[in-house]
Structure 1
Amino acid sequence: MATVRFSGVNKAYGTTSVVSDLDLELPDGSFTVLVGPSGCGKSTSLRMLAGLETVTSGSITIGARDVTHLQPRDRDIAMVFQNYALYPHLTVAENIAFPLRATKTPRREALTRAATIAESLGLAKLLDRKPKDLSGGQQQRVAIGRAIIREPSVFLFDEPLSNLDAKLRVETRTELLQIQRRLGITSVYVTHDQEEAMTLSDRMVVMRDGRIAQQGTPQEVYARPADTFVAAFVGSPKMNLIDGAVSGTTFTVGDGFALTVDQTAAGGPVTLGVRPDDLLPTVSDGDGAARVILIEHLGPRAIVTIDARGTELTSVVETSRLSGITEGTPVDLAVRPGATHFFDPATGSRLSG
């Protein structure tokens, strides 16, 4: 196990900067997820840590060792890829044991250790099968087992679940987290799926345009997004972001509608952020400030899309509280107390709390 540090790391292809001034510390034994949209630099950062991409400037350390210019095989890391990369002619046991065989470990010893790891991954009955006879989830577990058997200082995961269907993705995600907790090995995981990032990580690093937009625990990032980019990216459905002006506890949108909000921002133009769970529609006694245009039922909850005089908003409502609210219903809107976020409309940076 080891602490990982990126110190002033930059990566450029010619004049094109891909990662800029990356300063990041990943504590020993932690599970850190790098998350962001395509092209944000998360995979490049992981590949620099793995030694698959060269560092333009800056340094990377694993424990006390500077690994910036070491070959991948000398970094004491194990990597699990999106495409599994299993050897089709080898059995499950042989695939898991392969890293040991490559270091001249006796065959019987390597296969014995592979069998122990396979049992912990629920693969004990599949040891003699070839990859073509396995499901996607089983193949991914074999790839994870092959990484575990090396007992590395750091695990690296490059979108390992993206090829699985939704049910298998959730199941494998749970298994992966349990394995990491049991082994306590420092892990770095890359994904574009913010839900996956929030579920897996001890520490969540949101990246944008090659830089860190925000880092912290998933709860911190969700509760106090640093800017409108993070606010819109983290959370599903995404946060409502509304341009308007605040005066005291009243937020207004031009000649549109008004909301009562917490008095936590100076007066004047602001971007108001409200999570869908915190936007509360009720049936209006009159024409109302808004109208329901779509309801998507999701069992105990429903996603309600609302037209507030030209501004489209999203609310998540418990099904039991939908009484009287149907598509076309005029509604009044309120914000749950303590649930407002204010951002600078010019820079997008957080203003409050």
Structure 2
Amino acid sequence: MATVTLEKVTKRYGDVEAVRDLDLDIDDGRFTVLVGPSGCGKTSTLRMVAGLEPVTSGRVWIGPTDVTRLEPKDRDVAMVFQNYALYPHLTVRENIAFPLRARALSRTEVDRRVGDAARSLGIEALLGRKPRALSGGQQQRVAIGRAIVRQPHVFLFDEPLSNLDAKLRVEMRTELARLQRELGTTALYVTHDQEEAMTLSDEMVVLRDGEVAQRGAPADLYARPVDVFVAGFVGSPRMNLVKADAGDGTVHVGAARIERAGVPSGPVTVGVRPEDVLVGAAASAPDLRARVELVELLGPRAIVTLDADGMTLTAVVEARHLDGVHEGVTVPVTLSRDDLHLFGPDDRRLEDS
């Protein structure tokens, strides 16, 4: 186990600056997830920690060691890729044991490590099979097992679950979280998947244009995004962000008038999570009336798209509360007062919101 530290790390590809003066500290034993839109620098950051991409400037530390110029094999990290990269001619046992070939380990020690990894991943019965006889989820477990037997200081995961179907992604997400906590190994993980990031991480780092936009516990980023970018990025469905005007202690959101003392007069952006947009019978003391444009039923809940005089809102409604809420009707809407987010003209969060 080890800390990971990036000091003023920059990565350029020709004239393109993918990562810019990045400072990042990852505590020993923590599960840190990098998220952000395509091109934000998250994969480049992971690959620089792994040693697969050279650093243009800055330094990378793993524990007390400056690894900036070290080869990947000398960094004591184990990486799991989106592509499982299993050897098709080797059995599961041989694939898991492969990273240990170059080490001066006894056959007994190799067998012990392979057996322990297989047991922790529930693939003991598969050790004699070859990759072509495995499902996608089983192949990913083998790839993770191959990383575990190395007993590295740091695990690096590059979207390892993106090739799996929805059910397997949930199962493997649970397995990864359990394994990381049992092993206590520092982990750095890259994903586009909001649910993966929120459920797996001790800490989320949101990147934008190669820089840290915000970092912290997932619940903190969800509850108090520092700016409009993070507010719109963290959470699925994404936060409703509406242009509004403030004055005399009141925020004007379309036809709605919301009292909010201390908000400076002028243009603001109001953010409200879809679960805080109350629709139909749930909308006591309604602020607006809106036309239902679309109802997407997702089992126990539905995503409802609304049009309030040209202002589009997304609401999450429990399925049992959908009576009278269907496409084409006009329904009352309440914006939950306690859960509004306010951002100033510079898109930064207003402190009292």
Shift of 1:339: 0.5
The answer on whether the counterparts of 1:11 and 1:19 sit within 8 Å (CA) in structure 2 is: yes
Asked if 1:229 is matched to 2:229, the reply is: yes
Letter in 1 for 2:183: L
Letter in 2 for 1:131: P
Return 172-181 or 311-320, whichever deviates more.
311-320
Shift of 1:281: 2.3
2: CA distance between counterparts of 1:322 and 1:313? Answer: 16
Letter in 2 for 1:74: D
Partner of 2:351: 352
Quickly say closer, same or farther: Cα 1:261–1:199, change in 2 above 3 A.
farther
User: 1:61-117 CA deviation, whole Å, 9 max, x = no partner?
Assistant: 111111111110111111011101111111111111111122243445323321221
Asked if 1:185 is matched to 2:180, the reply is: no
2: CA distance between counterparts of 1:257 and 1:50? Answer: 53
Normalising to structure 2: TM-score of the pair?
A: 0.94
The answer on whether the counterparts of 1:261 and 1:340 sit within 8 Å (CA) in structure 2 is: no
The answer on whether the counterparts of 2:83 and 2:160 sit within 8 Å (CA) in structure 1 is: yes
2: CA distance between counterparts of 1:118 and 1:82? Answer: 20
Shift of 1:269: 0.9
The answer on whether the counterparts of 2:272 and 2:339 sit within 8 Å (CA) in structure 1 is: yes
Partner of 2:96: 96
The answer on whether the counterparts of 2:249 and 2:263 sit within 8 Å (CA) in structure 1 is: no
The answer on whether the counterparts of 1:273 and 1:340 sit within 8 Å (CA) in structure 2 is: yes
Partner of 2:194: 194
Shift of 1:325: 2.4
Quickly say closer, same or farther: Cα 1:125–1:110, change in 2 above 3 A.
same
Return 262-271 or 238-247, whichever deviates more.
262-271
Shift of 1:210: 0.7
Structure 1: any 5+ residue segments left out of the alignment? none
The answer on whether the counterparts of 2:251 and 2:260 sit within 8 Å (CA) in structure 1 is: no
Partner of 2:167: 167
2: CA distance between counterparts of 1:248 and 1:282? Answer: 30
Asked if 1:296 is matched to 2:296, the reply is: yes
Partner of 2:311: 311
Shift of 1:188: 0.2
1:256-335, aligned counterparts within 5 Å?
256-263=254-261, 265-282=263-280, 289-335=289-335
2: CA distance between counterparts of 1:236 and 1:333? Answer: 20
Return 154-163 or 95-104, whichever deviates more.
95-104
User: 1:311-344 CA deviation, whole Å, 9 max, x = no partner?
Assistant: 1101111223333322222223222132011112
Provide the secondary structure at the position in 2 that maps to 1:120: helix
Letter in 1 for 2:140: Q
Letter in 1 for 2:137: G
1: CA distance between counterparts of 2:310 and 2:128? Answer: 62
Quickly say closer, same or farther: Cα 1:196–1:80, change in 2 above 3 A.
same
Report the identity percentage. 61
Letter in 2 for 1:290: A
User: 1:255-285 CA deviation, whole Å, 9 max, x = no partner?
Assistant: x422425435222210000001111123699
Partner of 2:210: 210
Structure 2: any 5+ residue segments left out of the alignment? none
Shift of 1:27: 0.3
User: 1:189-238 CA deviation, whole Å, 9 max, x = no partner?
Assistant: 00111221111100000011111111000001100111111111111111
Letter in 1 for 2:198: M
The answer on whether the counterparts of 1:204 and 1:216 sit within 8 Å (CA) in structure 2 is: yes
Return 10-19 or 65-74, whichever deviates more.
10-19
1:46-85, aligned counterparts within 5 Å?
46-85=46-85
Shift of 1:304: 1.2
1: CA distance between counterparts of 2:301 and 2:42? Answer: 33
What is the count of residue pairs matched by the alignment? Answer: 350
Shift of 1:249: 5.3
Provide the secondary structure at the position in 1 that maps to 2:246: strand
Quickly say closer, same or farther: Cα 1:331–1:233, change in 2 above 3 A.
same
Letter in 1 for 2:83: N
Shift of 1:248: 4.6
Provide the secondary structure at the position in 2 that maps to 1:173: helix
Asked if 1:119 is matched to 2:124, the reply is: no
Shift of 1:11: 0.7
2: CA distance between counterparts of 1:261 and 1:295? Answer: 30
Return 1-10 or 336-345, whichever deviates more.
336-345
2: CA distance between counterparts of 1:109 and 1:264? Answer: 66
* Alignment RMSD (CA, Å): 1.9
The answer on whether the counterparts of 1:203 and 1:217 sit within 8 Å (CA) in structure 2 is: yes
Return 240-249 or 5-14, whichever deviates more.
240-249
Partner of 1:44: 44
